[in-house]
Amino acid sequence: MLTGLFDIPVLGLILQLLDFLLNVVTVNGPVILSLATPLALGAMCGVISERSGVVNIGIEGMMLASAFSAWLVASVAAQAFPAEPGFFFGVTPALLIGLAAALATGVAFSLVHAWLSISIRADQIISGTIINIVAFGVTAYLDLLLSRTSQPSGGKFVAFAPPQALLDLPVIGWLFRMVLAQGPITMAAIVIAVVFQVLLFRSRWGLRTRAVGEHPKAAETVGIDVIRLRYRNVLAGGLLAGLAGAWFTIDFGTTFQTGMTNGRGFIALAAMIFGRWHPIGAFGAALLFAASGALGTAIRTTPPPGQLGEILISIPEQVFSALPYLVTIAVLAGVVGRSVAPAADGQPYEREATH
């Protein structure tokens, strides 16, 4: 109905662009949600850790290592326990074992981060950097060795297939398609975001977490074990990062490539900040970043017709590849001043008694 206005010189072009963006989001909704999954899980890994006062920039490395172990373990397990994909999500024993391996890897790396930053009281950003470097090094090294023998894939989860009748419903059908036609990790991410949000603000654990992240000494004086709570939260964050890692190699794709997380762990941090350290907010921000990534793909595969299409296609593809990173920078620059981190974020806690 708006198409009549598309011929107006400048305004028309803007309207066409908006129309195209809306189209990209509608058509690619499920893909965007799926692409947002590792960002959202990574961001929530950041939220759970930073709400208790531990900065975690090792998310990138945790995801990368988990992606690698999910792939490798699923692959080995698939050879050991060959099985037909199950009805729900195409689940096989190998995939479950791979998933468990990813979670364990995430926890193992977060344990290192927790030990360095909580017990040793090392600089938390340096600790996170170590995680990133070690994860990159060990996965690159093993991946290269394994590529000499060409490891078979262990398969992947498949998206849930909701009844067609549900998808055909007007308006809501689109929403159902977006949320229900997803793999298990994406669905889990949605559930986790909601549960996490409620727990953070209504449960004992949530109250204590927020207190420890804001004023650990106050928490300690009312008998809360700051060290233990921070350990638990960082380790729980490791689970989330592990889940995010698994998404790369046994949900979205089926193979591992060196450095395949490509900075998504850092984009997740930006999503955490943009979402003001709220689980739901972080999820929303992750969707924005994922959408900016989907845009480039959409322009290359299905460019809009007419003048707009010509303009967009003439833009070098590298601009669109760089878009998520540029959006991240823009968001950080625009939002940080107004988004307040937990007061004790990044500060090691030392018990009074040990003075």
Partner 1 sequence: MRVDLRTPLARARSLIALPAGAILLAFIVGAVVMLVSSPLVTGHFDPSLPLRTYAAIVEGSLLSVNALVDTVVAATPLILVGLAVGLGFKAGLFNIGGQGQFLMGAVASAAAGAALAHESPIVAITLSVLAGVLAGAAYGFIPGLLKAYTGAHEVVTTIMLNYVGIQVISYLITGPLRAQGASFARSPDVQNAELPAFLNVGTGHEAHIGILVILVVVPAISWLLYRSTTGFEIRTVGANPDAARYAGMQPRRLVILSLTVGGMLAGLAGAIEILGVSGYMPAAYATNVGFDAITVALLGRATPGGIFFSGLLLGALRAGAPLMQVKAGVPVQMIDLLQGIILFFLTADVIVRFVFRVRAGHAKLDELQTVTRSYGSGTGKP
Partner 2 sequence: MTSSPSPTISAPALEMRGITKRYPGVIANDRIDLTVRPGEIHALLGENGAGKSTLMNILYGLTRPDEGEILLDGEPITIKGPSDAIARGISMVHQHFMLVPVLNVADNILLGAETMANRVFLDRDEARRRIRELGQRFGFDIDPDETVGRLSVGWQQRVEILKALYREARILVLDEPTAVLTPQETKEIFAVLRRLAAEGHSIIFISHKLSEVLEIADRITVIRRGRVVGERLPADTNEEDLAELMVGREVQLVADRGESHPADVLLSVESLAVGDDRGREVVHGISFEVRAGEIFGIAGVAGNGQDELVEAITGLRRPAAGRVRLGADDVTMADPRQAHEHGISFVPADRHRFGMVTSFSLADNLVLTDYYAPPYARRGVRDDAAIAARAEEAIREFDIRTPSATVTAGTLSGGNQQKMVVAREFDRDLRLLVLDQPTRGLDVGSVEFIHRQTVRKRDAGTAVLLVSAELDEVLELSDRIGVMYRGKMVAILDGPTASREHVGLLMATGGHETPEGAPQGAAAPEPRRTGA
Residues in touch with partner 1 (CB under 8 A): 55, 57, 112, 115-116, 120, 122-127, 129-130, 133-138, 140-142, 144-146, 148-149, 258, 262-263, 266-267, 269-270, 273, 316, 318-319, 321-322, 325-326, 328-329, 332-334, 336-337, 339-343, 345-347
What SS3 class is residue 228? helix
Pick 218 or 326: Cβ nearer partner 2: 218
Contact region with partner 2 (CB under 8 A), list: 57-65, 74-82, 305-313, 347-355: 347-355
Which of 117, 98, 47 has the alpha carbon at shortest distance from 242?
Answer: 98
Enumerate the H helices of 51-120 as residue ranges.
59-80, 93-114
If 0-12 CB within 10 Å is exposed, 13-18 middle and 19+ buried, where does residue 258 land? middle
The nearest distance, CB 184 to partner 2, in angstroms, is: 24
Q: What is the largest CA-CA distance in the chain?
A: 74
Helix axes 124-147, 93-114, angle to 10 degrees: 140
Pick 121 or 217: Cβ nearer partner 2: 217
Give the whole-angstrom CA distance, residue 139 versus residue 160: 31
Q: Return the one option of partner 1, partner 2, none that residue 328 interacts with (CB less than 5 to 8 A, by type).
A: partner 1
Q: Return the one option of partner 2, partner 1, none that residue 339 interacts with (CB less than 5 to 8 A, by type).
A: partner 1
Pick 133 or 195: Cβ nearer partner 2: 195
DSSP character at residue 253: -
Q: Return the one option of partner 1, partner 2, none that residue 353 interacts with (CB less than 5 to 8 A, by type).
A: partner 2
The nearest distance, CB 136 to partner 1, in angstroms, is: 6
What SS3 class is residue 350? coil
Other C-beta atoms closer than 10 Å to the C-beta of 173 total 15
Give the number of C-alpha atoms closer than 13 A to the C-alpha of residue 81, restricted to the C-beta side: 12
Give the whole-angstrom CA distance, residue 70 versus residue 3: 48
Residue list 204-243, contact with partner 2 (CB under 8 A): 204-205, 207-208, 210-211, 214-215, 217-224
How many residues are given for the chain? 355
Looking at residue 65, its amino acid is A
Q: Return the one option of partner 2, partner 1, none that residue 210 interacts with (CB less than 5 to 8 A, by type).
A: partner 2
Is the C-alpha dihedral spanning 59, 260, 322, 11 positive or negative?
Answer: negative
Pick 124 or 249: Cβ nearer partner 1: 124
278 contacts partner 2 (rule: CB under 8 A): no
Pick 148 or 355: Cβ nearer partner 2: 355
Long-range contacts of 301-309 (CB under 8 A, 24+ apart): 304/16, 304/19, 304/20, 304/23, 306/6, 306/16, 307/13, 307/16, 308/13, 308/16, 308/17, 308/20
Pick 19 or 123: Cβ nearer partner 1: 123
The nearest distance, CB 50 to partner 2, in angstroms, is: 14
The nearest distance, CB 113 to partner 1, in angstroms, is: 11
Number of residues that bind partner 2 (CB under 8 A): 24
Pick 300 or 351: Cβ nearer partner 2: 351
Looking at residue 71, its amino acid is W
Q: Return the one option of partner 1, partner 2, none that residue 326 interacts with (CB less than 5 to 8 A, by type).
A: partner 1
Of the candidates 203, 228, 263, 306, which one interacts with partner 2 according to CB under 8 A?
A: 203
CA distances from 2 to 10, 19, 26, 308, 329 (A): 15, 9, 17, 15, 34
What is the pattern of x (binds partner 2, CB under 8 A) and - over residues 292-331? ----------------------------------------
Pick 163 or 223: Cβ nearer partner 2: 223
Chain residues binding partner 2 by CB under 8 A are 199, 202-205, 207-208, 210-211, 214-215, 217-224, 343, 351-353, 355
